[in-house]
Amino acid sequence: MTKLIAYPLTVFYLIVFSLILLIFHPIQWICLNVFGYRAHKKSVDILNLFLVRCLHLLGVRYRFENPHQIASNQAVIIVSNHQSMNDIPPIIWFLRKHHPKFISKKELGKGIPSVSYNLRHGGSVLIDRKQAMQSVQAIENFAERVKKNNWGAVIFPEGSRSRDGHPRPFKTKGLLSLFRQIPNATVIPITVNNSWKTLKYGKFPMGIGAKIEFKVHEPLMVNEHDHNTLVQHIEKQITDHIKHD
């Protein structure tokens, strides 16, 4: 019965979702090309607020637990497990003071209104997973931008999303590269739970009624830890709080 109800709700959601992306695409272009980075960043924040609220049409609820006071005038590295594309708008919105920028696969850099434009022009980096050396260099250049501007670098070290909520082993090269390039950064580990349930039936219909939870763990200073030990600690910190239900 739940899946049956999901069909019309998904159609309604996809119509609203598509309209949001189409409307904000020219808004982003105008903000960036006429008013500059800050206006563009504000348009991206509002876009992602709309995307967060849009999922309420599917009965999705959010809980973003962040009890930590993390200064915004410093570079941060946001490390999270990855369960669906619906992980991303809440991270952008709820951590917007850190200017989140993403390490994304190059395929996302075209064909998606608003999203592709922001990835190409908003400060993120697009990498080709088949070109390991080029990807490392691209991440290093990205890290320099993050350090220079006191932005937040967002990385999903699993490499691809978990389709059932169970974590994948971390791929450490990208994360270690960020540590080397931004040694004074603060690491913000995040555990995401239940985002995968929005895609539990596949892309259509979407899952309804999920309660997506984000838990921000104790921030860690990169320069106070051995890098390999830090990666292991972050992975354990994140995966130990993933719910298996």
The per-residue pLDDT string of the chain (245 residues; one tens digit each, 9 = 90 and over) reads 789 899 999 999 999 999 999 999 999 999 999 999 999 999 999 999 999 999 999 999 999 999 988 988 999 999 999 999 999 999 999 999 999 999 888 898 999 999 999 999 999 999 887 776 777 788 889 999 999 999 999 999 987 777 777 888 998 888 999 999 999 999 999 999 999 999 999 889 999 999 999 999 999 999 999 999 999 999 999 999 998 76
Using CA atoms, how far apart are residues 86 and 196, in angstroms rounded to an integer? 8
Using CA atoms, how far apart are residues 193 and 181, in angstroms rounded to an integer? 30
Q: Is residue 95 part of a domain?
A: yes
11 is in which domain, residue-wise?
A: 2-239
Using CA atoms, how far apart are residues 219 and 206, in angstroms rounded to an integer? 34
If one counts every other C-beta atom within 10 angstroms of the C-beta of residue 180, the result is 12
Q: What is the pTM of this model?
A: 0.94
Helix (H) or strand (E) segment spanning residue 45: helix 37-54
Q: Is residue 244 part of a domain?
A: no
CB 82 within 8 A of CB 162: yes
Q: Is residue 99 part of a domain?
A: yes
Residue 79 tokens, joined: 């490390």
CATH at 218: 3.40.1130
Q: Is residue 135 part of a domain?
A: yes
Into how many domains does the chain fold? 1
Q: Is residue 144 part of a domain?
A: yes
- Report phi then psi at 188, rounded to 5: -115, 100
